[in-house]
Amino acid sequence: MSIVQGYRAYIWLSQRHIYVLKTETSWYGGVRSRQLCLYDCPGDWLAWPEKIKKCLRDIIAVYGLQDYTTYLLLSGPSLLWKELKLATKRKEEARSMVVWDEAIGDGSTAYAFDLARTAEPPEGGLYGWMSAAYPYDMVTDMIQTLRSGNCCVRRIDVLPAAAGRLCPSGTGILYLCEPALIHVVQLKSGVPLSYACTSALPEEGRIWQEAQEQMHHGVWYDEEKGMWSIPPVSESVKRDMDRWELVYPAAVLAAY
């Protein structure tokens, strides 16, 4: 088995940090080790191509990611996310039907976007789809920099989709709290319905968070029960978090 197959890096590119989950797998695919690394970035690093390239070159050098297979996770205010109802189950037809609002349609910024079907329709109804868009030049700079550092870019995903895998049976709102930004994902049975960024938890959530013995950076609001708690993660992710001491918000990488 080649080195590329045995060494993987799951990389979450956030506003002030890059989270890197280094993973070593055995020849039969089992996980031998995992190490979570945190790299601090300037507040405006995603706005400047040279800063994107510098930060990614740094993590390749500092964390020894040469020859790793990499998986990118995108998030933040630049990520556009929407739920769609379309009269097709074929992806190519669905792509031609997607209509974004002025944020992507004014032509000032080129966006790369993709979509996935989330639900079968009721009889005579429309198919459920989710679509995500991210500035094209930013994605291109990320891929080119990683490839120039001898990294293989295997997959690009977005935070709302990873949140759905983190809490596959959850119906409620997941808050992933970073120091300067909180990611808010609304889920229904693990399917992401909406995504937004904010600077603070709702007051009830903040009160619950402050009442805990330790600060939780992953917070869950159960919309059916009207209760705050820690996120209802899947058993496999919970085992990973316990075994490798993964903490929020970066623990979402365990669900990649």
pLDDT in tens, 190-249: 999 999 999 999 999 999 999 997 788 999 999 999 999 999 999 999 999 999 999 999
How much is the pLDDT for 179? Answer: 86
Do the strands 7-13 and 191-198 form a parallel or antiparallel pair, or are they unpaired?
unpaired
Of 202, 207, 240, 239, the residue nearest 223 (C-alpha)? 202
Residue 255 belongs to a domain? no
144 and 125 in a common domain: no
This prediction's pTM = 0.91
Give mean pLDDT, residues 150-177. 95
Give per-residue pLDDT as tens, 107-149. 678 888 889 888 777 767 889 899 999 999 999 999 999 999 9
- Structural domain containing residue 150: 3-77+136-159
Radius of gyration of the CA atoms of the chain, in A? 19
Indicate whether 254 belongs to any domain. Answer: no
Are residues 116 and 14 part of one domain? no
Max CA distance (Å), the chain = 55
For residues 69 and 141, membership in a common domain is answered with yes
- Dist CA 75 CA 13 (whole Å): 7
Whether 107 and 33 map to the same domain: the answer is no
Residue 21 in any domain: the answer is yes
Q: What's the confidence (pLDDT) of residue 83?
A: 86
Look at the chain and report how many structural domains it folds into: 3
Is 244 within the bounds of a domain? no
- Express each pLDDT in 74-118 by its tens digit: 999 999 988 888 888 898 898 888 766 545 655 678 888 889 888
- Report the alpha-carbon distance of residue 210 to residue 220 in Å, rounded: 14
